[in-house]
Structures are given as structure tokens and as C-alpha cells.
Amino acid sequence: MSSVLAEEMEATTQFGVGEPPLELRRINWGAVFFGWLWALVYGFWPWAVLLAGLSMASTLFTNISAGSPVRMALGGEMTIAVVSSLISWGLAAVLGVKGNRLMWENQQQRLAGTPKVALGRPSANIDEYLASQRTWGIVGALMSVAGFMLGVGPALAHWDESSAGWAAGSGIGVVVLLGLFIWDRARQRSALRVGATASTDGGSPTS
């Protein structure tokens, strides 16, 4: 009996078996902060190519000489910064929301022998997976804060169109991150209520 119970407990904690547990129904902050790099490491090529291409295009357009026909056609540096920030942060938010689900579904396909992607095999244990993704998120948050702090001084010291574009893009990022944080906290509270209800009823939580 004990061996059967142990096998059942192992199955419930194995990553990619059954439906995603409540712990995974939340934002993957590593995917939000690292974007194309996170997607590349875990083999989600369409996301990696899309986000990396957008980042390179934004850098290219931002560095176009002021007054050039291309810059004027694009509407100036402020327009470029705002549009690229809206798109890049929007995609990062979507990837963050879908990240854990994508990882879970890919691991299910691995276990079935039909994986769509081949890199970044997640940990077999749910707790190990959560710990690794928490590290991604913490490092990403620290790097983002450090980058922001390093950019504030030069922007204020030499305020121009480039500085205004940087400030606008940073503001969009802060708004998106704050919105994701609020949504994530609400999602966690909802998951806790579902879990408590399921435990009271003697059933299992559903998606």
C-alpha cells in the first residue's frame, strides 16, 4: 500500500503530468524580464525570433540619424520609443502569462515522445521547476532595476528627445509590470480559494 501511495504522490508532483497545479497558474516573471533569451533557452523559437527581432529593430530605428527621411517618416524618436515599448512589453506580458503553461504542455509532449521543442528540459519535479523559474524572475528584476537606475542619471543630465523616449518607454514598462503584479496577486488569491474549496469538498481543483 505504501509503495502505491508513494507512486501516486510522485505522479502528482511530476512536472508535465495531468493538469497544471494551482502553483503554476501565475505569471512567469523570468519570461517577462528576459523575453527572447528565456524563450531561446527553453526552445520556444517563434517567441525568441519575434522578441529578438523586435529588440534589434527598435535599436536600429532609435540610432537612425535625427532629421533623416527615415526618422521623419517614423515620426521621431519619441514615437519609435513608445510604439516599440508598447509592442515589446505587450509581448513580454503575454509570454509571462503563458510561460508556465507552455512549459507544462511541452513537457507533456516530451513524456509522450512528441516534443515540439528540444531545448531547456524543465525539472522533473514541480518544486524544482518553480525554484528555477523564481531564480530567473529575481535575477531579471534586479537587472531591470539596475538598468533603470543607470539610465536615470544620464537622462536627467542631458534631457533631449532621446531622454524623453527613454522615459516614455520606462514608464510603459513600469505600468505593464505593475498591472502584471496586481493581476498575478489576484490570480494567486483566486487559486487559493479554489484550492481551499476543493479540499473542503474532497475533490480536486479544476482549471
Q: Among 56-60, 94-98, 162-166, name the most confident range.
A: 94-98
**Residue 26 phi/psi, 5° resolution?**
-155, 180
125 - beta bridge partners? 14
Cα diameter, the chain: 77
> CA separation (Å) from 83 to 164, 165, 178?
14, 10, 19
DSSP lists the bridge partners of residue 14 as: 125
Residue the block writes with cell 490570480: 187
Q: What is the pTM for the complete model shown?
A: 0.79
pLDDT digits (tens, 9 = 90+) for 107-166: 888 877 765 655 555 666 888 999 999 999 999 999 999 988 888 888 778 887 778 878
pLDDT of residue 153: 80
With bands split at pLDDT 50, 70 and 90, how would you rate the model's confidence at 205? low
Contact of 36 with 47, CB cutoff 8 Å: yes
Sequence-distant (≥ 6) Cβ neighbours of residue 121 within 8 angstroms: 107, 110
